Amino acid sequence: MGRRLLPLLLIGLALLSAGCNEAPQLAQGQPVPEFTLPRLGGEPLPLAATRGQVVAVRFWADWCPYCAPEMRDIEPIYQRYRDQGLTILAINVRQDRATAQAFIDSLHISYDVLLDESGEVARRYGVMGLPITFFLDRQGRLHNRILGESTPAVFERVVQELIAPADPAQAPAPPATPQMSDPHER
């Protein structure tokens, strides 16, 4: 009996441990993990300080082929919407300050650049590839994410969805839902 149970026990343990290394999956509409990371200049920035803002949390590294052009391309979007409450947090993953600074110097961007030298925040967000952008609503809940290469138009569209008036009474009415018709009626 013991010989038959051992293989089943080993299979069961293997299945249980397989899920232990999976990255967390952030759910749309749910709060995202809080963090405090240093800016390139050294001063810490807690995510909680952005509450009330629409936040794009963008993970990047200098070896990522899409990161530089996309980071440059979203600067004009940031300039257009920052006075309406857009904050962009560009989080460098697992690189030192000097490497990140050299990369950023060539981009001429004005939004915040943060350092996640240990990669801990990226792990807590389930980052498996770069670039990835998480869009947070004004309450710090996940609204959307873009994994991989994207266009400025897609980025701006998501920002526009979130830059609604903070007062729900001022928000535009949702579009009317078209009525479904019965294909058998004539």
- Structural domains of the chain sorted by starting position, each given as residue range(s) with its CATH number in brackets: 53-165 (3.40.30.10)
pLDDT tens-digit profile of 131-174?
Answer: 999 999 999 999 999 999 999 999 999 999 999 755 555 444 44
Q: Which two tokens stand for residue 129?
A: 């590839």
Instruction: Tell me the one-letter amino acid at 157.
Output: R
The pTM (predicted TM-score) of the whole model is 0.78
Q: Is the pLDDT of residue 2 over 60?
A: no
DSSP structure string for 48-64: GGGTTSEEEEEEE-TT-
pLDDT tens-digit profile of 49-78?
Answer: 999 999 999 999 999 999 999 999 999 999
pLDDT at residue 4, rounded to an integer? 52
The pLDDT confidence band at residue 23, using thresholds 50, 70 and 90, is low
pLDDT at residue 25, rounded to an integer? 84
Q: Is the pLDDT of residue 179 over 90?
A: no
Strand partners, 87: 55
The residue ranking higher by pLDDT, 7 or 143, is: 143
pLDDT at residue 165, rounded to an integer? 59
Quote the percentage of the chain above a pLDDT of 90: 74
Q: Is the pLDDT of residue 14 over 70?
A: no
C-alpha–C-alpha distance, residues 110 and 98, integer Å: 18
C-alpha–C-alpha distance, residues 149 and 119, integer Å: 21
What are the distances in angstroms from CA 24 to CA 32, 66, 100, 115, 125?
A: 11, 24, 26, 21, 7
Q: Is the pLDDT of residue 26 over 80?
A: yes
pLDDT at residue 174, rounded to an integer? 43
The helix or strand, by DSSP H or E, that contains position 83, with its residue range, turns out to be none
